[in-house]
Amino acid sequence: MSERPSALSGALVLDGVVTARAGVNIALIKYWGKAPARGPNDANLPACPSVSLTLDGLYSETRARFAPDAMDDTVVLDGEALQGPGLDRMRPVLDRVRELGDIAAPFFIETRNTVPTAAGLASSASGAAALAAATARCAGLSLTWGELSAIARLGSGSGSRSVFGGWAAWDGPEARPIHPREHWDLAIVVALVSKARKSLSSREAMRQTARTSPLYGPWVETAQEAFDAALAALKHRDLAALIEAMETSTMRMHASAMGAKPPILYWKPASLAAIEVVQSLRAHGTLCGWTMDAGPNVKVLCRASDAAAVASALDAVAGVGSTLVCRPGPGVTVRVSEEG
């Protein structure tokens, strides 16, 4: 999209707070691996194309304001001030916004997630998109959606997709919307297997996979095929074809990670048990398919009308703590308020 969204443009916000909200997105076709970067603004360019659905109800909300008297940026995530690598991950977004706005002042940022952080529920994606939108609006930048997506990407690759509502594709510097949320009445049922923080970040896991897994090359080489199949399936609302592409992409991504040295295995016994339930539901006529990201939780794609039945089948799996039914959600929103 090339238009400059009015919600995002406006004067520099000196005496107020900007609040941005961005939804979690789930990749149906996975991003796993980075293209080589020539400069700082090439960070997190994808080695393979991905397709996602942004969800309703699971989001990050970020409040940003300038802190001209502070020595450094402050980022408070769910009540805890980030230090070290956590803060470093946000810096490329903050620095890029300052560079584009020709501003030197540090930011004061508060973020809260409605999802467990770093548990394979893509809170890094919604967090990066909300951070990019809130700080860009604070700085008074006039950006296209694509330009905003490219800034979000600097915080988290998958964040480039959370700028957009509904179905998005990402295969270059910025993601793009492919269908609005109303396009197709599907749901994603999340089976929560663990809320524990993962020990290895997806960034580090991708690096380890690319460096040491003999399965990484074939994963990247075959990714385009799954991407093309998913785009066609989405266009024609062909759920069986979309599920086939999604499960193929997921399995190959995880296989490439499992082939790393040391191996990277996100699956728990309950993850596998949930996958078996999905296979059994499908064998008995409920069209649904599963995917997993950098964590043990299982996300199941199905028709919205089947979501309650899918959720109750997953709730019965030993080791599944709870389930969440999510519908397609909106893109990032931004508002400016007076308070300091």
Amino acid at position 29, single letter: I
What is the DSSP track for 147-204?
Answer: HHHHHHHHH-TTHHHHTSSSEEEE-SSSEEEEE-GGG--EEEEEEE---SPPSS-HHH
4 scored as a contact of ligand PMV (CB under 6 A):
no
Among positive and negative, which fits the CA dihedral 23, 29, 32, 37? Answer: negative
Alpha helical stretches, state H, the chain = 84-101, 123-138, 145-155, 159-162, 202-212, 216-235, 239-258, 269-283, 307-315
Is 294 or 314 the residue whose CB approaches ligand PMV more closely?
A: 294
- Which region among 35-43, 121-129, 144-152, 314-322 touches ligand PMV (by CB under 6 A)? 121-129
Q: How far is the CB of 31 from ligand PMV (least distance, A)?
A: 3
Q: Is 190 in the site for ligand PMV (CB under 6 A)?
A: no
Number of residues near ligand PMV (by CB under 6 A): 15
294 touching ligand PMV, by CB under 6 A:
yes
Cβ closest to ligand PMV, residue 34 vs residue 65:
34
Q: Does residue 291 belong to the site contacting ligand PMV (CB under 6 A)?
A: no
Binding mask 139-158 for ligand PMV (x = CB under 6 A): -----------------xxx
Residue 140, classified by CB atoms within 10 Å of its CB into exposed (0-12), middle (13-18) or buried (19+), is middle
Task: Kindly provide the b/e burial profile for residues 227-262, where b requires at least 16 CB atoms within 10 angstroms of the residue's own CB.
Answer: bebbbebbeeeebeebbbbbbbbbebbbebbebbee
Smallest separation (angstroms) from ligand PMV to the CB of 214: 20
Q: Which of 21, 30, 65, 181 touches ligand PMV (CB under 6 A)? A: 30
Neighbour count for residue 106 (Cβ, 10 Å): 17
- Report if residue 127 touches ligand PMV, rule: CB under 6 A: no
- Per CB under 6 A, contacts with ligand PMV among 77-96 are none
Looking at the DSSP assignment, which residues form a beta bridge with residue 177?
168
Q: Answer for the pair 25, 56: CB distance below 8 angstroms, yes or no.
A: no
| Spatial CA neighbour of 194 closest among 321, 18, 325 | 321
Cβ nearer to ligand PMV, comparing 139 with 260: 260
Q: Is 252 in the site for ligand PMV (CB under 6 A)?
A: no
Phi, psi dihedral angles at 235 (to 5 degrees): -60, -40
In this chain, which of 73, 110, 293, 306 binds ligand PMV, going by CB under 6 A?
Answer: 293
Phi, psi of 242 (to 5 degrees): -65, -40
Complex with ligand PMV: residue 32 or 107, whichever CB lies closer: 32
| 271 part of the interface to ligand PMV, by CB under 6 A | no
**33 contributes a contact to ligand PMV by CB under 6 A:** no
CB of 306 to ligand PMV, least distance (A): 24
Give me the least distance between CB of 47 and ligand PMV, in Å please: 11
Q: How far is the CB of 103 from ligand PMV (least distance, A)?
A: 26
Question: For ligand PMV, which stretch binds (CB under 6 A), given 30-38, 75-83, 101-109, 303-311?
Answer: 30-38
Q: How far is CA 320 from CA 58, 122, 298, in A?
A: 19, 18, 9
Instruction: For 206-222, give the secondary structure using H, E and C.
Output: HHHHHHHCCCHHHHHHH
Distance CA 87, CA 73 (A): 9
For residue 228, give every residue at least 6 positions away whose Cβ sits within 8 Å of its Cβ, in sequence order, or none: none
Q: Give the residue with the Cβ less far from ligand PMV, 129 or 186.
A: 129
If the CB atoms of residues 30 and 96 are measured against ligand PMV, the closer one turns out to be: 30
Check binding of 202 to ligand PMV (CB under 6 A). yes
**Residue 124 found at the interface with ligand PMV (CB under 6 A):** yes
Rule CB under 6 A: say whether 227 interacts with ligand PMV.
no
For binding to ligand PMV (CB under 6 A), which residues are involved? 27, 30-32, 50, 122, 124-125, 156-158, 202-203, 293-294
